[in-house]
Amino acid sequence: MNQTHPGTRLIGTLLAATLASGVLGGCVVHEQKPMQRIAAEKATFEVAEDELLDVGVRLFDPNIPRDEAEQEKQRIFPEVRNAESRYMPMLLRDTLESTGQWGQVRVLPRDGTGMEVFVDGRIVESDGRELELDIVVSDVAGRTWMRRTYKGEADTRAYKEVVSKPRDPFENVYNTIANDLLAARRAMPQAERQQLRQVSDLRFASDLAPYAFSGYLAKDRKGVYTVARLPAESDPVVQRMQRVRERDYALVDTLNEYYASFGGSMAEPYTSWRKFNYEELEAESQAKREALTRQVLGAVAVVGGIVAGAETSSSAASAAATAAVIGGMYAFKSGLDKRAEIKIHTESLKQLGDSFQNEVQPMVVDVEGRTLQLKGSAEQQYAEWRQLLRELYENETGLPATAGTAAPAGQP
């Protein structure tokens, strides 16, 4: 009977594992299964006018740590994040708009107001491989609809180069948010939904002419606004206010054009950056796994070989034990070599981020500059309209225009 010494079997297994690790480790391809797509629910019939709430997606919070060391540790490139905080709301806007479930959907500045529903977001993670967003949805009356974290992995099909109509790799995340937003709207009592438009109008009016309009709104203990009564449509102040509001929409539209233009400029380089970043992250992860495997297996083989060599008396087993020690040392060393490969990937990621950051920074500066400039001149115009509304009110009522100011619509 041909019996094998237990120590020899162990050494054989270790050698096989070590060799397999060494041979196969370098050529494993990390294939990702096709990701199941989540569709955003679209309107299949005409949505009632009073259900078509206007949605404002505010620029996201880029969530950049102040400490540079922390930025580096988390691999956050500030200018990339700043760009993403403007780009992602556009994608969400497009998603919401494409469903046909909403009225106007606009991207707003961080302090933007004037809509009926507001989406605020915070970027937790975004590296091309994974996207994590904290999303808060509220309405103009002051209710919070939902507060959730969304996390998704990249659909790598979006990174394929030959695609006639590329999708965003994180489309599932945006579609899920859109579906949850819709569900939240549906869960809301109809009467509350229908009052949002009036509340929005009155909050806008109260912001511009509080002496004339603040009495039309009531605020409960939770800070939620309700309509106490409605002003007469024939009121001259109401009529002028409506014309001011139309300009407010035009301003929002123009700001939105800036963001859309920015998004258009950024789309291509951003997709490229995410694609390469994804590849480097995957390569780095794989190198880390391999390094660890080789070092562990190498160490085990060395120890096993030494133990087996000490226990065996046969020359064949002794030779095998020696081979295991040598193989283990080789595997351990190749594990160390892999560490060098990891460094290369890490450096590549940094270079990619720096390069994209340099590319996108002027775009961010440009869109921010234009936005501020337009908002600045609009504010001057609004100040004049406030004054005219005041004069008109005093002329119409013969009363002095004095009243406390209300919080701008969209802000509690």
**Which of residues 54 and 290 has its CB atom nearest to other proteins in the complex?**
54
Note whether 114 and 412 are within 8 A (CB).
no
The per-residue b/e assignment along 103-126, b for 16 or more CB within 10 angstroms, e otherwise, is: bbbbbbbeebbbbbbbbbbebeeb
Q: CB-hemisphere CA count at 13 Å for 229?
A: 6
**Closest to 90 measured CA to CA, from 133, 56, 42:** 56
* Least distance CB 114 / other proteins (angstroms): 9
Cβ-based nearer residue to other proteins, 45 or 402: 45
Residues 138 and 147: their CA atoms lie apart, in Å, by: 9
45 near other proteins, rule: CB under 8 A: yes
One of 29, 66, 165, 233 touching other proteins (CB under 8 A): 165
Neighbouring CB atoms inside 10 A of 355's CB total 14
Q: CB of 318: closest distance to other proteins in angstroms?
A: 57
52 binds other proteins, rule: CB under 8 A: yes
- Closest CB 152 distance from other proteins, rounded Å: 16
* Residue 98 binds other proteins, judged by CB under 8 A: yes
- 114 torsion bin: left (phi>0), alpha (psi -120 to 50), beta (else): left
* Residue 168 makes contact with other proteins by CB under 8 A: yes
**107 vs 321 by CB, closer to other proteins:** 107
Choose, by CB under 8 A, the member of 374, 375, 411, 412 that binds other proteins.
374
Give me the least distance between CB of 280 and other proteins, in Å please.
21
Q: Which of 374, 108, 106, 396 is nearest to 240 (CA)?
A: 396
Residue 127 within binding range of other proteins, rule CB under 8 A: no
Residues 42, 148, 333, 343: which binds other proteins (CB under 8 A)? 42
φ, ψ dihedrals at 58, nearest 5°: -80, 155
The span from the CA of 16 to the CA of 97, in Å, is 57
- 220-228, 275-283, 382-390, 402-410 -> range binding other proteins (CB under 8 A): 382-390
Integer CA distances (angstroms), 367 to 23, 41, 358, in order: 51, 32, 15
State in angstroms the smallest separation of the CB of 35 from other proteins: 10
Interface mask toward other proteins for 99-118; x: CB under 8 A: xxxxxxxx------------
Q: Is 167 in the site for other proteins (CB under 8 A)?
A: yes
Whose CA is closest to 142, among 122, 113, 174, 121? 113
Within residues 261-320, the interface with other proteins by CB under 8 A covers 261, 263-268, 271
- Applying CB under 8 A, does 145 fall inside the site for other proteins? no
| Residue from 138, 108, 371 nearest 249 by CA | 108
Of 148, 384, 400, 405, which one interacts with other proteins (CB under 8 A)?
384
How far apart (Å, rounded) are the C-alpha atoms in residues 341 and 337? 7
- The tokens describing 334, both together, are 């190749």
Residue closer to other proteins (CB basis): 42 or 73: 42
Angstrom distance (rounded) from CA 111 to CA 59: 9
Question: Of the candidates 107, 114, 115, 55, which has an alpha carbon nearest to the alpha carbon of residue 85?
Answer: 107
Q: Please give the full DSSP string across 35-51, using - where no structure is assigned.
A: PPP-PPPPPSSPPPGGG
Shortest distance (Å) from residue 225 CB to other proteins: 19
User: Closest CB to other proteins among 261 and 355?
Assistant: 261
Q: Could you say which of 381, 399, 400, 405 contacts other proteins (CB under 8 A)?
A: 381
> Among 299, 326, 342, 378, which residue sits at the site for other proteins (rule: CB under 8 A)?
378
74 vs 395, beta carbon nearer other proteins: 395
Q: Which member of 82, 95, 195, 312 binds other proteins (CB under 8 A)?
A: 95
Does position 238 interact with other proteins (CB under 8 A)? The reply is no
List 59, 80, 90, 364, residue binding other proteins (CB under 8 A): 90
21: its two tokens? 């690790």
